A = this chain, B = another copy of it.
Amino acid sequence: MTYCVGMKLDKGLVLMSDTRTNSGVDNISVFRKMFTWQVPGERIITLMTAGNLATTQAVISQLEERTKEPDERDNILLKTPTMFQVATEIGNLMRNIIGERQEANGVKGRGRFTASIIVAGQIKGMEPRLFMVYPEGNFIEASLDTPFFQIGETKYGRPIIIRGYDKQMSLEDGVKLLMVSFDSTLKANLSVGLPIDVQVIGRDEYEASHEHRISHDDSYFSAISAGWGDALKNAFHSLPDYSFYRGDD
C-alpha cells in the first residue's frame, strides 16, 4: 500500500509520501514515490505515485526517456507549456502503459496494473496547480472546495485533514498537519511506513522551498507522534461529558 497527500494552500503546495511497497506483508521494500523535475526560477513539477509499482516506474522512466541514450534524452515535462498539459501528458502515458500490460495479460476493466498519480507544480507566469490523474488517463484539479488529494490508504488520515485544513495556514503548519495525518495512518496500517518524503513548493519560488526525509530517528516527527496522543486525549476531555440521564431525552 501507499499513502501520499498533495495539499494546496494560499502560500503554495505541501506534498508528502511514504516509501513502503509490499507484495504481501513478508515482502516489504523502500521505494521513493515522489519525483521532482525543476528548472530553478522557471518551473517545478512533482509527481507522487500509488498503485502498481511496475506501472508507475514505467511512467517515470518514459517521462525521462530512459529508452534513449543518456545524451539524447529530453524530459517531456521540462518543455510542456502549462501544468494542464503536464497532467494531460502523464494521463495519456499512464493509460497507455496500463492498457498495454492489461492487453498482454488478457485483463479487462480495472485490473491489477492500475495506478494513480498526484501532479503538483508551478510554471512561471501561472498559478501553482494540483491534479489527480486516474488510471483511465483523465484527471481532476484541486479547487477551493477540494483543496487536497490523497492516494493509497486514504481513510485513516482523512478526518484530521478535513478538520485541520485552513487555506490561509502557513506552509510549516501544512507540513505539521500532514505529519499528523501520516502518523494516524502509520498507527493503523502496517503497509504504510517510514521513511516519509516531504516537499514544500512555495508560491512563485519555482523550486522546492523545502525538502526533507522523515526517518525513524526524526526527533520532530517523534515529538508529533508522541504529543498527538496526549493532545487528542486532552481534546476529548475538553468536550462536554455524556450523561445517561439527560434533560433532552
Contacts and interface: CB of A to CB of B under 8 A. Distances in A.
A144 interface: no
A242 B220 contact: yes
Nearest to A223: B240
Contact of A236 (B200, B209, B231, B240): B231
A188 B224 contact: no
B173 A242 contact: yes
Copies of this chain in its oligomeric complex: 2
A236 B188 contact: no
A231 B243 CA distance: 20
A163 interface: yes
Contact of A180 (B188, B239, B243, B249): B239
- Most B CB contacts (10 A, CB to CB) among A175, A235, A243, A248 go to A235
Listed from nearest, the 6 A-B pairs whose CB atoms lie closest are A155-B155, A231-B235, A159-B184, A235-B235, A210-B244, A176-B242
Given A156-B158, A164-B232, A180-B239, 10 more contacts: A155-B156, A159-B188, A160-B236, A171-B244, A209-B244, A223-B240, A224-B239, A227-B238, A228-B239, A231-B239
